[in-house]
Amino acid sequence: MSYQLNFGALLDYQDVLLDGLWMTVKLTLISTVLGILLGVLGAAARRHRNAALRHLSKAYVELIRNTPFIVQLFFVFFGLPAIGIKMTAIEAGVLALVINLGAYLTEIIRAGIDATPKGQLEAARTLGLSSRQIFIRIVLPPAFQRVYSAVVSQCIIVMLGSAVVSQISVPELTFAANFIQSRNFLSFESYLVAALFYLILAFLMRLAFNLIGARAFSRKEKTL
Amino acid sequence: MSQFTDWDILRNLLLAARWTVLLSLIAFAGGSIVGLLLTFMRISRRRSLIWVTRIYIEIFQGTPLLMQLFIAFFGLGLLGIDVSAWTAAALALTLFSSAFLSDIWRGCVESLPKGQWEASRCLGLNYLQTMRYIILPQALRIAIPPTVGFSVQIVKGTALASIIGFVELTKAGTMLNNATFEPFKVFALVALIYFLLCYPLSRASQYLEERLNVAGKRA
Amino acid sequence: MSLVSVRDVHKYFGELHVLKGIDLTINAGEVVSIIGRSGSGKSTLLRCMNGLESYEQGAIILDGMEVSTDEFQVRKLSHSVGMVFQSFNLFPHLTVGENIMLAPKLIKRVGKEEAKKLAMEVLEKVGLADKFGQYPEKLSGGQQQRVAIARSLAMKPKVLLCDEITSALDPELVGDVLKVLEQLAAEGMTLILVTHEMNFARDVGDRVVFMHQGKVHETGDAKEVLANPQTPELQQFIGAVL
């Protein structure tokens, strides 16, 4: 092999790379929080008394899950402004990520809700709780716990998917790698380093989620 | 600038969608072959093989598909292999799919009750015989729904090949958008075509899953 | 005055006629055991009394309120009637204390400190005051069931419905739960139990209601009915369970 890998040259661009990494982290954080919220709402709608809400939620889930994220992104970024909804690239990126994550989480959380034992609902009803109170206080917390690992995996998938928002010039990690390789022509090295960063991010994300989960779902005795 | 009618847009998109389908089929076939190999390595009893596949899967599941495409595209070039966007996309999607498929299939093999292994052993079957006659036939049955389900991910994954310049459905969409300045219409149509490709697969997967569950309960 | 009045109640599950005209009046302070084979409609009757099941015909009046499955009505009823289930149904993500305080806080708008006091009070009653901060999964079945009773008591109901509450317990744990019920009976709580515990029905219960094929087949004073069953069906049933 005649080619000599040259990672050292990337050091000149470490600021660009780190800025991109930071943007990816920020995009992920905000989309994860909003996406989980949307997923909970979607799941609530999916099991709502109102049939129209149920159908709407189902259509949303099917539409998003059966089209590529990049097309969703282009539709939001190019298509929506054409009908008067204007936004910046970052806003469009976040919106697309949230919509995408929300659809998958709707389905995941719904499955968790469906696994609720009937007796839990009956006990709550007997105690006099309203439907909303039952959903929020009795059904949702254990349902979320039941499907937590699937939720975590989906959030990580969306973090990795955020690489695609580089295509609408959001200056995140992949965009940074693109930029660097366009300057120094070390494409292989640039992308390899970026990929490594993603790998580390995925690892750290799982770690963080596991720590949060262990804390949130702890069943250690509480003192008075 | 030439004028595009709606029909022109749709016709061009449909023509490009053929490449989406072809790339999906190749990735699925390639991914299945490599994935099967990985699955056997993963359920073998060789520690080194298990580790290799685990790392392989971690890497492909822990990095963006887009990065895998870039690295395949530019990395192969470095090795002196002249790659087209088509080759790079086919290669990257094959490797990507193989990681996910082998992970799904391993899960199916491991989901079988331990009693199946123990019973086979009591009957005097060796490892390979147990695999061949007891485990694989059962694992295959439960593997079909999630495998069909994953094919949806492959179809959607091919959209990223547009970024390295392969002209499939998404790329055709961006090109038509540049020519017509009608992004709302163009990308809605692109989305619709993907939906028509993916939705039947999703439903088939769900249907097979339900049928399997019913059969499982009856048994 | 009667606390619970069931008048000509009919209930169908689709084609299946499960309650065929039930009439039953229960006074405050009574302990009534509903017995019968599985499928006789006894659990269904109990579940109709607090709005968990609907009924198609007749009326159930509990503490002056008409019982229905309407959410608002069920909420109102929760002040008067409590229910304990075979499968405990404690909320797994809440501690024992939180399980008990939930409804008083949400439904009765009881303050935090008062709710805590109330919870300790009912926990002491069932002998589990030391489990306040524990999660249900750490408790034995018998303990979980006693917490479930305490949770119902915290709403200060006038009637407590018990749906086979010892059936899911290991035999050695049944006694503790029955002891709690006995104590409640002694304090004057109205209890309606669907049960297989014939000794309990005889020794603690005031009245026995034997259900057979969706009807009240035989009823009367507990000791008498169980000692001298009149109908062959009840004779056969008692012969089978004793």
* Residues in chain C with pLDDT values less than 50: none
Q: What percent of chain B has pLDDT over 70?
A: 97
Nearest Cβ partner for A131 among C71, C88, C91: C71
C73 shares its domain with C91: no
Count Cβ–Cβ pairs < 8 Å, chain A vs chain C: 82
The per-residue pLDDT for C174 is: 94
Alpha carbon distance B214, B217 (integer Å): 5
The residue of chain A nearest to residue C129, with distances taken between CA atoms, is A224
CB C49 within 8 Å of CB C62: yes
Which of A120, A129, A217 faces C106 most closely, judged by CB atoms? A129
Biggest CA pair distance of chain A: 77
Contact between residue A87 and residue A98 where contact means Cβ atoms under 8 Å apart: no
Tell me the C-alpha to C-alpha distance, in Å, between residue A115 and each of A121, B107, B146: 12, 21, 20
Per-residue pLDDT at B4: 82
What is the pLDDT at residue A133?
95
Could you tell me which of C17, C28, C13, C5 has the C-alpha nearest to residue C187? C28
**Among A120, A121, A127, A132, the residue to mutate for chain C (most C Cβ within 10 A):** A127
Cβ-proximal residues to A151 (8 Å cutoff; 6+ apart), any chain = A36, A39, A105, A108, A109, A144
Residue A218, min C-alpha distance to chain C (Å) = 9
- Mean pLDDT, residues B190-218 taken together: 90
Do C195 and C95 lie in one domain? The reply is no
Q: Do C135 and A221 touch (CB under 8 A)?
A: yes
DSSP code per residue over A16-66: HHHHHHHHHHHHHHHHHHHHHHHHHHHHHHHT-S-HHHHHHHHHHHHHHHT
Reported pTM: 0.91
Checking if the pLDDT of A81 tops 50, the result is yes
Is pLDDT above 90 for B3? no
Residue in chain B nearest A73 by alpha carbon: B187
> How many angstroms separate the CA atoms of A123 and A7, rounded?
63
CA distance A48 to chain C (A): 15
Q: Do B63 and A199 touch (CB under 8 A)?
A: yes
Q: Which helix (H) or strand (E) holds A190?
A: helix A187-216
Residues 6+ positions from C82 with CB-CB distance below 8 Å: A126, C152, C153, C155, C157, C159, C160, C161
Same domain, C169 and C230: yes
Residues of A with CB under 8 A from a CB of B: 1-3, 62-63, 65-72, 74-75, 78-83, 156, 160-164, 166-167, 174, 177, 181, 187-188, 191-192, 194-195, 198-199, 202-203
* A and C adjacent (3 or more CB pairs under 8 angstroms): yes
Query: What is the pLDDT confidence band of residue A21, given thresholds at 50, 70 and 90?
Result: very high
CB atoms within 10 A of CB A103: 25
Summarised one tens digit per residue, pLDDT across range B61-113 is 999 999 999 999 988 877 778 789 999 999 999 999 999 999 999 999 999 88
Q: Element (H or E) spanning B29, and its range?
A: helix B6-42
3-state secondary structure of C67: coil
Strands (E) located in A86-175: none
CA atoms within a 13 Å half-sphere pointing along the CA-CB vector of A199: 14
Tell me which of C156, C180, C205 is where a domain ends: C156
Structure tokens at C173: 């744990």
What CATH number is given to the structural domain containing B62? 1.10.3720.10
Residue B32 lies in a domain: yes
A24: in domain: yes
Which residue range is the domain that position B15 belongs to? 6-218
The pLDDT assigned to C1 comes to 67
Residues C64 and C166 in one domain: yes
C28 and C76 co-located in one domain:
yes
Say how far apart CA C145 and CA C174 lie, in whole Å: 10
> Residue range A78-98: average pLDDT?
95
Q: How confident is the model at residue A184 (pLDDT cuts 50, 70, 90)?
A: confident
Closest CA to B64 of A187, A202, C241: A202
Percent of chain B clearing pLDDT 90 (strictly above): 73
Q: How many domains does chain B have?
A: 1
A159 in Cβ contact with A201 (< 8 Å): yes
In chain A, which residues have their Cβ closer than 8 Å to the Cβ of C92? 142
C201 and C131 housed in the same domain:
no
Please check whether residue B40 touches A, CB under 8 A.
no
Nearest to A128 among C75, C85, C89 (CB): C75
Cα distance between residue B102 and residue C49, in whole Å: 55
Range A121-149 average pLDDT:
96
- Angle of helix A173-184 versus helix A14-46 axis, rounded to 10: 150
Residue C220, phi then psi, degrees to nearest 5: 160, -170
User: How many domains are there within chain A?
Assistant: 1
The answer to whether the beta carbons of residues A19 and A175 sit under 8 Å apart is no
Q: Are residues C132 and C152 in the same domain?
A: yes
- Residue C52 has its nearest CB partner, among A126, A128, A219, at A126
The verdict on a CB contact (< 8 Å) between C71 and A130 is yes
C-chain CB neighbours of A141 within 8 Å are 93
Say if the Cβ atoms of C107 and A222 lie within 8 Å.
Answer: no
When scoring C65, C93, C112, C163 by the number of chain A Cβ atoms within 10 A, the one with the most, hence best to mutate, is C93
Q: Is the same domain home to C18 and C91?
A: no
How confident is residue B114, by pLDDT bands cut at 50, 70 and 90? confident
Do the chains contact at B183 and A199, CB–CB below 8 Å?
A: no
What is the tally of structural domains in chain C? 2
Last residue of a domain, one of C140, C156, C172: C156
- The answer to whether residue B1 sits within a structural domain is no
Q: Is C40:C214 a contact under the CB 8 Å cutoff? A: yes
CATH number at residue C36: 3.40.50.300
Cβ C94 vs Cβ C84: under 8 Å: no
Contact assessment for residue A172 and residue A162, using Cβ atoms and an 8 Å cutoff: yes
Q: Which residues of A touch B68 (CB under 8 A)?
A: 195
* pLDDT level of residue B2 (50, 70, 90 thresholds): low
Instruction: Find the CATH number of the domain harbouring A144.
Output: 1.10.3720.10
CA distance B41 to chain A (A): 23
| Mean per-residue pLDDT, B41-57 | 92
Domain boundary among C99, C134, C156: C156
The answer to whether residue A1 sits within a structural domain is no
B79 at interface of A, judged by CB pairs closer than 8 A: yes
What range does the domain containing A186 cover?
8-223
The answer to whether the Cβ–Cβ distance between A71 and B177 falls below 8 Å is no
Question: How far, in Å, CA of A131 to CA of A175, rounded?
Answer: 47
CB of B127 within 8 Å of any CB in chain A?
Answer: no
A43: in domain? yes
Confidence of residue A2 (pLDDT cuts 50, 70, 90): low
Chain B nearest C-alpha distance from A25 (Å) = 14
At residue A187 the predicted structure's pLDDT band, cuts being 50, 70 and 90, is confident
Rounded to a whole number of angstroms, the distance from the CA of A126 to the nearest CA of chain C is: 6
ipTM (interface predicted TM): 0.92
Distance (Å, rounded) from C-alpha C174 to C-alpha C198?
13
State mean pLDDT over A154-175: 97
Q: Are C116 and C193 in contact, with CB atoms under 8 Å apart?
A: no
Q: Which of B78, B162, B182 sits opposite A188 (nearest CB)?
A: B78
Rounded to the nearest 5°, which phi and psi values hold at A205?
-65, -45
For residues C26 and C190, is the Cβ–Cβ distance under 8 A? yes
Nearest to C93 among A127, A131, A141 (CB): A141
Q: Which domain holds residue C126?
A: 87-156
Residue B218: is its pLDDT beyond 60? no
